[in-house]
Amino acid sequence: MKTRKSAFIHVAALLSFSLISAQQKVLQTDFNKGPWEQVGQGLQRKWVSGAESTFAFWKMDKGSHVPPHQHPNEQVTYITKGSVKVLMNNKEHIVKAGGVLIIPANITHEFFCLEDGTEDLDFFTPVRKDWTEGTASYLKQQGNPLEVVAQFDEMRPGNVAVSRNGRVFATIHPLASPKLQLVEIIHGKPVAFPSKELQKNGGPADYDKFDTPLGVTVDKENRLWMIDMGLELGKTRLWCFDLKKNKVVEKIELPADIAPKGSFVQDVAIDEKNGWAYLADIANPGIIALNLKTKKARRFSGHEALQSEDVDMIIDGQVIDFGGKPSRVGVNPITLSNDRETIFFGSMNGTAWYQVPARLFRDNADDKLIGNAIQKFGDKPVSDGAATDQYGNHYITNLGGHSISKLDVNGKLNEVVKDGRLQWPDNVAVSEDGYLYISVNQLDRTTAFSGDQDKGKPPYFIYRVKL
């Protein structure tokens, strides 16, 4: 026990010294909180990087395997629980709990886990650039290949929606100060929808034009719906478009007491059967239920399930800030079951996916009754967007894993696709022909998250993958 503890302290001290001396600031996170990144079968990790080093914590199941690889980093491996077999220089090394193995740079090696529940602490110097850049041979694409649907050379796609006949639409993310707000993808390029005249085009706020939309979806009647947060205008509006005529058919302004100026109502789910819309606000974490017939709305706020968990967002080994401090974003994606009777939702900085009966909102039940009815459906990664298909499966973006996770009808979580190109998969949509559409926009590199000038590297993309 003394050996294991002293070795851990030594590794932690090396990490702390590297971070403080090289970055001139302390990077702090808690590996006891937050989700694991699924790297391979029976292989999970959490990791952070400073300017000169990388530190990783692995969990392994018996039989899991890290294929032969090498890297220009010296590696210190400390097994805290279980045991592994390491092949290196044609020699077999058995490392049990308490054991430390130093792997020189540029030496080919591979790992085999010998016991369930094995835990491994690794320290690398210099930084594992093949991890931060997603080029490690054993971390490359998993699942079906991504197909490029659209390329954005100057704008960041926000959310994506697909019509019943395969038309693809996207909002342009407002954090990037775009000239266009809503586009249709035609021949792989974004084109103003439904017209140029409705786009703000860099001008001042105008009630007759789009302002700062984000959430977008297509309902079963093949109508396109878009929630406009009105960050400049100061009014939140829900727009509806007839896709046969390509024109606006409805614009509903949310009451100021329900969505006051400063609200960030960024996602929407439509119940066309009963005539309701459900929206998520992250500024004052809450669910807004809007009766599309009477135009009356109510807000449900204050419940623990709507709030951010105390979980860091870690992408490419870095703790991601928002507004100058570690990101803590509450309720974000919101979806509906195929029969429109269940609302699903979760926080961006959260590890739980919740469900609640929609009829409670339709019946104007009080907040206590709604709160008592909220149940956890399953686990989820730290995420941005989500979609629920007709079979009850949930597809949730995995920001730290550069992947899309699937939470199936039985509550089992696994990865659908993992690809280094999924640099902040913002939102997803499921098409009727069995494709998952994914908007990717490097949002963590914007000023709002980084606190620095925008470091995004165009182009940005909408991809799709066959389910």
405 within 8 A of 413, measured Cβ to Cβ: yes
pLDDT for the residue numbered 17 = 37
d(CA 60, CA 286): 38
Which DSSP state fits 146? Answer: P
pLDDT of 8 above 70: no
pLDDT tens string 154-183: 899 999 999 999 999 999 999 877 889 999
pLDDT tens string 75-106: 999 999 999 999 999 999 999 999 999 999 99
State which fold the 147-466 domain adopts. Neuraminidase (2.120.10)
How do 37-40 and 43-49 pair as beta strands?
antiparallel
Q: Is 104 helix (H, G, I), strand (E, B) or coil?
A: coil
pLDDT tens string 48-70: 998 899 999 999 999 999 999 99
pLDDT of 136 above 70: yes
DSSP 254-271: PPTTTS-TT--EEEEEEE
d(CA 197, CA 444): 31
φ and ψ at 90, to 5 degrees?
60, 25
pTM of the predicted protein model: 0.86
Identify which of 184, 135, 139, 126 has the alpha carbon closest to the alpha carbon of residue 43: 139
Structure token digits, residue 150: 């659209």
The CATH number of domain 2-139, selected from 1.10.600.10, 2.60.120.10, 3.40.50.620, 2.40.50.100: 2.60.120.10
Q: Is 76 helix (H, G, I), strand (E, B) or coil?
A: strand
Instruction: Give whichever of 11-25, 175-189, 248-262 has the largest mean pLDDT.
Output: 248-262
Q: How far is CA 364 from CA 236, 289, 412, in A?
A: 22, 9, 32
Mean pLDDT of 25-43: 81
List the domain boundaries for the chain: 2-139, 147-466
